[in-house]
Structure 1
Amino acid sequence: MNMKTRNIHFLFLFTALFFGFLSSCKKDNADIPVTTKPTIGTLEIGSDNNKTVKAGTDLHLEGDIIAEALIDKIEIEIHQDGGSFKFAKIYTDEKYVGKKNVTFHEHIDIPSEVPAGQYHFHFTVTDKAGNATTVESPLTIQGADAKVAFKLVFTEVDAHAHGDHFHDIADKSGVEPFSVSFDNNGKALGDGHAHLKPAGVYKIDFKQFDATGQEIQGQYIKDKATATLYKAFLTGGTFVLNSGNILTGAIFQPKEATYGDGSAVTGAIETTGITTYFTAGKDNAGEKEVAFVLRKFKDSATKATITRADWNRTDYVAKYPGDDIIRLSFELHAEEGED
């Protein structure tokens, strides 16, 4: 076979492989529909789909999404009708991206300073083929009843329950914190509900604000001597507590690492509860009326007598003399499917 013949055979072989590759690519791409837009089922906007939210609380959103070409991103935009306020958020969490069929369920914080009035709401799902579907709706934002004086911020984490405490606490990717806000009297603003997964573990950050909106909760743990007078409790709810034998009960674990002056918090007795970790546990599924309490003791020796198992005592007032200087009452909903 001469050189010319070899070159011709090689050209034919290369051409066949090339077009075979293109055909394979076309076949692979054909597996992803490029013209079928995502579909969005009935989208709940606000509590009971009332399309209303109060400034200083969070906006409930929930709806089913089907994306034949898989979800690439979910975008939310809220803009004022005839005004300048605008809010936008893009979700690219792994619990949504790359999925074909999901339930979108999020709670978006609406700042207390947002002006009351009529707004336009846009919810857009874009798939990996570039197709997009948008649901639009009017939205009413009501003025805040009062300035936010306190807030409990819940963030789901990875952790393992062990008796009355947690092991291996670590941040969890793809989660959005949510919060319950309170006025100066400790009354919850908005619906006052905390929606948790029964078996989920949540970091709870207690926040207190002065008249200018600055955080001031650090005053209770500015140093060891100050913190000795304070401890947080979660009262009410008649919880089944987690223990060595019951592995599906509740745990409330105060767990600051340092005082405000930078010195280390050592041991379970020293912790106060400005930062806590909590799980309701499967044995406590359902709705409970609870209160986050920060108690100031009459003497500095009291705190050393409080163990990790004492956080839900019904007799804590008599047992630990002092005053509840902060009491934040709210509903805790521990239900499967909650975020």
Structure 2
Amino acid sequence: MKKTNIYLFLLLVLGTLGTLSSCSKDDEEIPGGNPVINLAEVGLENSKTAVAGSDLHLEGDIVAESLIAKIEVEIHQEGDGEYKIEKAWTEGKYIGVRNTTLHEHLDIPADAPAGEYHLHLTVTDQLGNTATAESALTIESADLPVAYQLLFTESAGYAHGNHFHDLADKDGAETVTVSFDAQGSAILGGHLHLDPHGIYKVELKQLDDAGNEVQGKYIESEAVARFHKAFLIGGEFILNSTTEDESGAIFQPRETKYGDGTDVTGASGTGTTGTIFYFTVGHANEGEKDVTYVLRKFASAETKATVTREQWNLADYATRFAGEDVIKLSFEIHAEEGHDH
């Protein structure tokens, strides 16, 4: 009888140990731990800079096995400054999911003091676990001198192949301006919202130290203009001419007069330069595009006539068309239904 009890006891102990071992194994398979943050961009092209009165591009990948409950951003001055910017998300597309890409443009108030700041991005999951990613940030004064501008005004017309028809001014259309410093970095309006179906007249402005417009020097005569041509690089655009439903992008330089008053000539628009151009993103290209407007000066006056309307977005334009870039302006285009600026 005693032996029977001992055997039963041993079986009970072994069974219990087996159960504990199984539970332990199950526990190891249950997702847990703190969220993981990969903070990819702070500022345009991860410049870690923003301009007072504009916005800050912020992007990062977040993984939280226990699901995201809250995302918080805090930006505070370094040193003795007390200025602080805070933003939090507790509902919406980022909340209640396991992984997401945070893509936001945080407003930087116009009264934010210029100087050095520190950014904290904190994620809390539904179990209360947290993780924080940090970055340095410089906020620049809105009083930075503007060296270049691109002015976007929606126009009437329609797309066909690689060009537009019936272009005309649109009554009541608002002009949206992207301003750049002397290095070609966007300092105001650098994250541009456009209607993907919209056709925009875009005008280049170049300003000297006194604020005078000087972009006319590139097209002051046909002889001068023959050396210059604009490109819009980046974005991996699907070109309109390659689509069956006219849903792609078109970039069409469109000056009609040189500075001396003579008419712009050239078959298929090869005489145009691109200090004025018309542009549509097309719904095939919806989403965000990092682009650079380039005005190139060719080494030979014969080159311009060889640049076709299909070649405005070539990644290898610099090797195909010998010369130098006299202007390079980098900014973002976000093309989304319901947005026009």
TM over 0.5: yes
**Counterpart contact for 2:51–2:142, Cα < 8 Å:** no
Q: Using the alignment, how far apart are the partners of 1:250 and 1:226 within structure 2? A: 28
**Alignment coverage as a number of residue pairs:** 210
What does residue 148 of structure 1 align with? 146
Is 1:215 aligned to residue 216 of structure 2? no
User: Residues of 2 paired with 1:245 and 1:143: CA distance?
Assistant: 44
CA distance in 2 between partners of 1:117 and 1:239 (Å): 36
Question: Which amino acid is the alignment partner of residue 259 of structure 1?
Answer: Y
TM-score w.r.t. length of structure 2: 0.58
Counterpart CA distance in 2 for 1:265 and 1:241 is 25
| CA distance in structure 1 between the aligned counterparts of 2:112 and 2:235, rounded to whole angstroms | 37
3-state secondary structure, aligned to 1:186 = coil
CA distance in 1, matches of 2:247, 2:154: 17
Name the larger-Rg structure: 2
Which position in structure 2 is the counterpart of 1:338? 339
Aligned to 1:262, the other structure's residue is in SS state coil
Q: 1:17-36 to 2 correspondence within 5 Å?
A: none
Q: What's the secondary structure of 1:309's corresponding residue?
A: coil
Segments of structure 1 that go 5 or more residues without pairing to the other structure are 1-51, 59-114, 119-141
Matches within 5 A, 1:43-192: 54=52, 143-144=141-142, 146-190=144-188, 192=190
Aligned residue runs from structure 1 range 10-21, under 5 A: none
CA distance in 2, matches of 1:174, 1:271: 27
Give the Cα–Cα distance (whole angstroms) in 1 for the partners of residues 188 and 255 of structure 2.
29
Query: For the residues of structure 1 that align with 2:192 and 2:251, how far apart are their CA atoms?
Result: 15
| Cα deviation, residue 199, structure 1 | 0.7
**% of aligned pairs identical?**
53
Shift of 1:300: 0.4
- 2:294 — aligned with what? 293
Residue in 2 aligned with 1:308? 309
Q: Name the SS for the 2:217 alignment partner.
A: helix
* Counterpart selection for 1:242 from 240, 243, 248: 240
The answer for the alignment partner of 2:255 in structure 1 is 256
TM-score of the aligned structures, taking structure 1 as reference length: 0.59
Amino acid at match of 1:264: D
In 2, Cα distance between equivalents of 1:162 and 1:190: 32
Structure 2 unaligned spans of 5+: 1-49, 56-109, 114-139
RMSD of aligned Cα (Å):
2.3
Aligned equivalents of 2:199, 2:294: Cα separation in 1: 20
Aligned position for 1:44: none
- 8 Å Cα contact 2:190-2:332 kept in structure 1: yes
Residues in 1 aligned to 2:222 and 2:111: alpha-carbon distance in whole angstroms: 43
Contact 1:269 1:304 survives alignment (8 Å):
yes
- Native 8 Å contact 1:294 1:327 kept in 2: yes
2:144 match: secondary structure: coil
Contact 1:116 1:143 in 2 (8 A): no
Give, in angstroms, the shift of residue 190 of structure 1.
3.4
Counterpart CA distance in 1 for 2:236 and 2:111 is 39
1:216-241 per-residue CA deviation (whole Å, 9 max, x = no partner) reads 00000000000000000000000000
